[in-house]
Structure 1
Protein backbone atom coordinates (compact mmCIF):
# COMPACT_ATOMS: atom_id res chain seq x y z
CA UNK A 1 0.00 0.00 0.00
CA UNK A 2 1.49 3.34 -0.95
CA UNK A 3 0.74 6.74 0.51
CA UNK A 4 -0.97 9.39 -1.57
CA UNK A 5 1.09 12.10 0.14
CA UNK A 6 4.26 11.17 -1.75
CA UNK A 7 4.74 12.82 -5.10
CA UNK A 8 6.10 10.94 -8.06
CA UNK A 9 9.39 12.21 -9.47
CA UNK A 10 7.64 13.91 -12.37
CA UNK A 11 5.26 15.73 -9.97
CA UNK A 12 8.05 17.04 -7.74
CA UNK A 13 9.25 20.57 -8.43
CA UNK A 14 12.86 20.94 -9.53
CA UNK A 15 15.35 22.03 -6.87
CA UNK A 16 15.42 25.47 -8.46
CA UNK A 17 11.60 25.76 -8.41
CA UNK A 18 11.45 24.49 -4.82
CA UNK A 19 14.09 27.02 -3.71
CA UNK A 20 12.25 29.76 -5.55
CA UNK A 21 8.92 28.88 -3.89
CA UNK A 22 10.45 28.78 -0.40
CA UNK A 23 12.36 32.01 -1.06
CA UNK A 24 9.29 34.03 -2.09
CA UNK A 25 7.19 32.77 0.81
CA UNK A 26 10.03 33.67 3.19
CA UNK A 27 10.42 37.05 1.46
CA UNK A 28 6.75 37.79 2.23
CA UNK A 29 7.38 36.74 5.83
CA UNK A 30 10.32 39.16 6.03
CA UNK A 31 8.23 42.02 4.65
CA UNK A 32 5.43 41.19 7.10
CA UNK A 33 7.80 40.92 10.06
CA UNK A 34 9.59 44.19 9.35
CA UNK A 35 6.32 46.00 8.62
CA UNK A 36 4.75 44.78 11.85
CA UNK A 37 7.91 45.68 13.79
CA UNK A 38 7.97 49.14 12.18
CA UNK A 39 4.30 49.73 13.03
CA UNK A 40 4.71 48.54 16.61
CA UNK A 41 7.94 50.38 17.41
CA UNK A 42 7.89 53.59 15.36
CA UNK A 43 4.15 54.17 15.01
CA UNK A 44 2.85 52.99 18.39
CA UNK A 45 5.60 52.78 21.03
CA UNK A 46 7.85 55.70 20.05
CA UNK A 47 5.10 57.61 18.20
CA UNK A 48 7.67 59.05 15.82
CA UNK A 49 5.37 59.03 12.82
CA UNK A 50 2.23 57.74 11.15
CA UNK A 51 2.12 56.17 7.70
CA UNK A 52 0.52 59.30 6.25
CA UNK A 53 1.29 62.47 8.21
CA UNK A 54 -0.39 65.06 5.98
CA UNK A 55 -3.84 64.60 7.50
CA UNK A 56 -5.79 64.85 10.73
CA UNK A 57 -5.60 62.36 13.58
CA UNK A 58 -8.39 60.13 12.24
CA UNK A 59 -6.78 59.69 8.81
CA UNK A 60 -3.38 59.15 10.41
CA UNK A 61 -4.82 56.37 12.56
CA UNK A 62 -6.59 54.87 9.54
CA UNK A 63 -3.37 54.85 7.48
CA UNK A 64 -1.51 53.15 10.34
CA UNK A 65 -4.33 50.62 10.69
CA UNK A 66 -4.22 49.72 7.00
CA UNK A 67 -0.43 49.30 7.15
CA UNK A 68 -0.76 47.14 10.26
CA UNK A 69 -3.47 44.92 8.73
CA UNK A 70 -1.46 44.36 5.53
CA UNK A 71 1.83 43.57 7.25
CA UNK A 72 0.19 41.41 9.90
CA UNK A 73 -1.66 39.55 7.14
CA UNK A 74 1.69 38.74 5.51
CA UNK A 75 3.12 37.81 8.88
CA UNK A 76 0.37 35.24 9.46
CA UNK A 77 -0.13 34.00 5.89
CA UNK A 78 3.51 33.29 5.08
CA UNK A 79 4.12 30.78 7.92
CA UNK A 80 0.96 28.96 6.86
CA UNK A 81 2.28 28.79 3.29
CA UNK A 82 5.66 27.62 4.58
CA UNK A 83 3.94 24.92 6.61
CA UNK A 84 2.05 23.77 3.52
CA UNK A 85 5.35 23.58 1.65
CA UNK A 86 7.44 22.18 4.53
CA UNK A 87 8.08 19.00 2.56
CA UNK A 88 10.27 20.97 0.15
CA UNK A 89 12.84 21.56 2.89
CA UNK A 90 12.33 18.37 4.92
CA UNK A 91 12.83 16.18 1.84
CA UNK A 92 15.82 18.18 0.69
CA UNK A 93 14.20 19.62 -2.42
CA UNK A 94 14.78 23.18 -1.22
CA UNK A 95 17.76 24.54 0.65
CA UNK A 96 16.98 26.02 4.08
CA UNK A 97 19.23 28.91 3.08
CA UNK A 98 16.49 29.93 0.62
CA UNK A 99 14.28 30.44 3.65
CA UNK A 100 16.87 32.55 5.50
CA UNK A 101 17.77 34.60 2.42
CA UNK A 102 14.10 35.32 1.72
CA UNK A 103 13.46 36.58 5.25
CA UNK A 104 16.55 38.84 5.28
CA UNK A 105 15.85 40.21 1.80
CA UNK A 106 12.16 40.73 2.62
CA UNK A 107 13.04 42.72 5.74
CA UNK A 108 15.59 44.76 3.82
CA UNK A 109 13.20 45.37 0.93
CA UNK A 110 10.53 46.69 3.30
CA UNK A 111 13.01 49.07 4.92
CA UNK A 112 14.46 50.18 1.58
CA UNK A 113 11.09 50.87 -0.07
CA UNK A 114 9.86 52.62 3.07
CA UNK A 115 13.01 54.73 3.34
CA UNK A 116 13.43 55.64 -0.31
CA UNK A 117 9.90 55.73 -1.71
CA UNK A 118 7.69 56.62 1.26
CA UNK A 119 10.12 58.82 3.23
CA UNK A 120 12.20 60.47 0.51
CA UNK A 121 10.34 60.45 -2.83
CA UNK A 122 6.65 60.60 -1.86
CA UNK A 123 7.26 62.22 1.54
CA UNK A 124 4.32 60.36 3.09
CA UNK A 125 6.08 60.51 6.44
CA UNK A 126 9.51 61.26 7.88
CA UNK A 127 11.26 58.74 10.10
CA UNK A 128 10.79 61.11 13.03
CA UNK A 129 8.34 63.98 12.84
CA UNK A 130 9.77 67.25 14.09
CA UNK A 131 13.40 66.14 14.00
CA UNK A 132 15.89 68.98 13.55
CA UNK A 133 17.85 67.04 10.95
CA UNK A 134 15.57 64.51 9.23
CA UNK A 135 18.34 63.62 6.76
CA UNK A 136 20.25 61.83 9.55
CA UNK A 137 17.22 59.66 10.31
CA UNK A 138 16.63 58.93 6.61
CA UNK A 139 20.29 57.98 6.13
CA UNK A 140 20.23 55.63 9.12
CA UNK A 141 16.93 54.11 7.96
CA UNK A 142 18.15 53.47 4.43
CA UNK A 143 21.54 52.35 5.75
CA UNK A 144 19.86 49.74 7.95
CA UNK A 145 17.96 48.49 4.90
CA UNK A 146 21.21 48.10 2.98
CA UNK A 147 22.70 46.03 5.83
CA UNK A 148 19.66 43.71 5.80
CA UNK A 149 19.79 43.44 2.01
CA UNK A 150 23.53 42.68 2.10
CA UNK A 151 23.02 39.90 4.66
CA UNK A 152 20.23 38.44 2.53
CA UNK A 153 22.32 38.63 -0.62
CA UNK A 154 25.28 36.91 1.07
CA UNK A 155 23.00 34.10 2.30
CA UNK A 156 21.34 33.80 -1.12
CA UNK A 157 24.74 33.33 -2.77
CA UNK A 158 25.21 30.17 -0.67
CA UNK A 159 21.98 28.54 -1.90
CA UNK A 160 22.76 25.37 -3.85
Structure 2
Protein backbone atom coordinates (compact mmCIF):
# COMPACT_ATOMS: atom_id res chain seq x y z
CA UNK A 1 0.00 0.00 0.00
CA UNK A 2 1.52 3.32 -1.08
CA UNK A 3 1.18 6.15 1.37
CA UNK A 4 0.88 9.58 -0.23
CA UNK A 5 0.36 12.00 2.65
CA UNK A 6 3.10 14.36 1.50
CA UNK A 7 3.32 17.83 3.04
CA UNK A 8 3.05 20.19 0.03
CA UNK A 9 5.11 22.84 1.79
CA UNK A 10 8.15 20.54 1.70
CA UNK A 11 8.58 20.61 -2.09
CA UNK A 12 9.61 17.78 -4.39
CA UNK A 13 13.33 18.45 -4.30
CA UNK A 14 13.37 18.39 -0.50
CA UNK A 15 11.47 15.13 -0.17
CA UNK A 16 12.98 11.91 1.03
CA UNK A 17 11.03 10.00 -1.63
CA UNK A 18 12.86 11.88 -4.40
CA UNK A 19 16.36 11.67 -2.94
CA UNK A 20 16.13 8.06 -1.80
CA UNK A 21 15.07 7.01 -5.28
CA UNK A 22 17.72 9.32 -6.80
CA UNK A 23 20.40 7.35 -4.91
CA UNK A 24 18.83 4.08 -6.05
CA UNK A 25 18.79 5.31 -9.66
CA UNK A 26 22.46 6.32 -9.53
CA UNK A 27 23.34 2.95 -8.00
CA UNK A 28 21.33 0.96 -10.54
CA UNK A 29 22.91 2.74 -13.50
CA UNK A 30 26.38 2.37 -11.99
CA UNK A 31 25.64 -1.33 -11.54
CA UNK A 32 24.48 -1.70 -15.14
CA UNK A 33 27.64 0.08 -16.32
CA UNK A 34 29.84 -2.04 -14.08
CA UNK A 35 28.24 -5.39 -14.94
CA UNK A 36 27.61 -4.92 -18.66
CA UNK A 37 30.50 -2.74 -19.87
CA UNK A 38 33.23 -3.52 -17.34
CA UNK A 39 32.63 -7.22 -16.69
CA UNK A 40 30.54 -8.88 -19.42
CA UNK A 41 31.82 -6.94 -22.45
CA UNK A 42 35.19 -6.04 -20.92
CA UNK A 43 35.26 -2.74 -22.84
CA UNK A 44 36.84 -0.68 -20.08
CA UNK A 45 37.58 -0.31 -16.38
CA UNK A 46 36.55 2.66 -14.29
CA UNK A 47 40.15 3.88 -14.50
CA UNK A 48 42.11 2.81 -17.57
CA UNK A 49 45.17 5.01 -17.08
CA UNK A 50 47.29 2.36 -15.41
CA UNK A 51 47.67 -1.41 -15.21
CA UNK A 52 44.85 -3.96 -15.48
CA UNK A 53 45.22 -4.62 -11.75
CA UNK A 54 44.61 -0.94 -10.95
CA UNK A 55 41.66 -1.03 -13.36
CA UNK A 56 40.16 -3.94 -11.43
CA UNK A 57 40.68 -2.13 -8.13
CA UNK A 58 38.96 0.96 -9.56
CA UNK A 59 36.05 -1.24 -10.68
CA UNK A 60 35.83 -2.67 -7.18
CA UNK A 61 35.72 0.82 -5.67
CA UNK A 62 32.98 1.84 -8.11
CA UNK A 63 31.04 -1.31 -7.21
CA UNK A 64 31.46 -0.62 -3.48
CA UNK A 65 30.23 2.96 -3.92
CA UNK A 66 27.28 1.72 -5.96
CA UNK A 67 26.30 -0.76 -3.24
CA UNK A 68 26.58 1.90 -0.53
CA UNK A 69 24.33 4.23 -2.54
CA UNK A 70 21.84 1.41 -3.17
CA UNK A 71 21.61 0.42 0.49
CA UNK A 72 21.44 4.05 1.66
CA UNK A 73 18.70 4.76 -0.88
CA UNK A 74 16.62 1.81 0.27
CA UNK A 75 17.07 2.75 3.93
CA UNK A 76 15.91 6.30 3.19
CA UNK A 77 13.00 4.96 1.16
CA UNK A 78 11.97 2.63 4.00
CA UNK A 79 12.19 5.53 6.44
CA UNK A 80 9.95 7.68 4.22
CA UNK A 81 7.39 4.87 4.09
CA UNK A 82 7.60 4.36 7.86
CA UNK A 83 6.96 8.07 8.44
CA UNK A 84 4.07 8.02 5.93
CA UNK A 85 5.97 10.50 3.74
CA UNK A 86 6.46 8.22 0.74
CA UNK A 87 5.24 9.56 -2.60
CA UNK A 88 5.47 7.22 -5.62
CA UNK A 89 5.52 10.04 -8.19
CA UNK A 90 8.39 11.83 -6.47
CA UNK A 91 10.21 8.51 -6.10
CA UNK A 92 9.90 7.74 -9.82
CA UNK A 93 11.06 11.27 -10.62
CA UNK A 94 14.12 10.86 -8.42
CA UNK A 95 14.84 7.40 -9.82
CA UNK A 96 14.91 8.59 -13.43
CA UNK A 97 16.86 11.73 -12.55
CA UNK A 98 19.41 9.49 -10.79
CA UNK A 99 19.68 7.13 -13.78
CA UNK A 100 20.19 9.98 -16.22
CA UNK A 101 22.49 11.92 -13.90
CA UNK A 102 24.87 8.98 -13.53
CA UNK A 103 24.85 8.24 -17.26
CA UNK A 104 25.57 11.84 -18.24
CA UNK A 105 28.14 12.34 -15.47
CA UNK A 106 29.96 9.24 -16.64
CA UNK A 107 29.70 10.15 -20.32
CA UNK A 108 30.74 13.78 -19.98
CA UNK A 109 32.84 14.11 -16.82
CA UNK A 110 34.46 10.66 -16.55
CA UNK A 111 34.89 10.05 -20.28
CA UNK A 112 35.67 13.52 -21.66
CA UNK A 113 36.71 15.88 -18.88
CA UNK A 114 38.67 13.57 -16.55
CA UNK A 115 39.46 10.98 -19.24
CA UNK A 116 39.26 8.13 -16.72
CA UNK A 117 38.14 5.78 -19.48
CA UNK A 118 36.28 5.66 -22.78
CA UNK A 119 33.25 3.51 -23.52
CA UNK A 120 35.28 1.44 -25.94
CA UNK A 121 38.74 1.52 -27.48
CA UNK A 122 40.09 1.01 -31.00
CA UNK A 123 36.79 1.96 -32.67
CA UNK A 124 35.18 5.18 -33.88
CA UNK A 125 34.03 6.50 -30.51
CA UNK A 126 31.50 9.08 -31.78
CA UNK A 127 28.55 6.66 -32.22
CA UNK A 128 29.20 5.23 -28.75
CA UNK A 129 29.39 8.68 -27.18
CA UNK A 130 26.19 9.78 -28.92
CA UNK A 131 24.32 6.65 -27.83
CA UNK A 132 25.69 6.77 -24.26
CA UNK A 133 24.93 10.42 -23.68
CA UNK A 134 21.68 10.27 -25.68
CA UNK A 135 20.31 7.53 -23.43
CA UNK A 136 21.43 9.51 -20.38
CA UNK A 137 19.71 12.62 -21.68
CA UNK A 138 16.47 10.70 -22.34
CA UNK A 139 16.48 9.24 -18.82
CA UNK A 140 17.23 12.62 -17.25
CA UNK A 141 14.51 14.27 -19.36
CA UNK A 142 11.99 11.65 -18.21
CA UNK A 143 12.97 12.37 -14.61
CA UNK A 144 12.67 16.12 -15.08
CA UNK A 145 9.22 15.72 -16.66
CA UNK A 146 8.10 13.58 -13.72
CA UNK A 147 9.54 16.16 -11.33
CA UNK A 148 7.59 18.96 -13.02
CA UNK A 149 4.41 16.85 -12.86
CA UNK A 150 5.05 16.24 -9.14
CA UNK A 151 5.63 19.95 -8.49
CA UNK A 152 2.40 20.84 -10.29
CA UNK A 153 0.50 18.16 -8.40
CA UNK A 154 1.80 19.49 -5.07
CA UNK A 155 0.80 23.03 -6.05
CA UNK A 156 -2.81 21.90 -6.56
CA UNK A 157 -3.01 19.76 -3.40
2:138 counterpart (147, 151, 157): 147
Give the CA RMSD over aligned residues: 1.8
Task: Decide which moves more: 113-122 or 17-26.
Answer: 17-26
Unaligned runs of 5+ in 2: none
Q: Could you say which residue in structure 2 is the equivalent of 1:28?
A: 23
2:42 paired with 1:50: no
TM-score normalised over the length of structure 2? 0.85
Aligned mates of 1:16, 1:98 — CA distance in 2 = 14
Aligned mates of 2:57, 2:97 — CA distance in 1 = 28
Shift of 1:156: 1.1
2:56 counterpart (44, 55, 61): 61
Aligned mates of 1:36, 1:152 — CA distance in 2 = 19
**Residues matched between the structures, number:** 145
Aligned mates of 1:42, 1:48 — CA distance in 2 = 6
2:12 paired with 1:15: no
Aligned mates of 1:95, 1:82 — CA distance in 2 = 10
TM-score normalised over the length of structure 1? 0.84
Deviations 1:84-131 (A, max 9, x none): 21045xx4x553110000000000000000000011111110101222
2:98 paired with 1:106: yes
2:72 counterpart (73, 77, 99): 77
Unaligned runs of 5+ in 1: 1-11
Work out which structure has the larger RCO, using CA pairs closer than 8 Å and 6 or more positions apart in sequence. 2
Shift of 1:13: 7.8
Q: Which has the larger radius of gyration?
A: 1
Deviations 1:128-150 (A, max 9, x none): 1222x112111111111000011
Aligned mates of 1:87, 1:58 — CA distance in 2 = 43
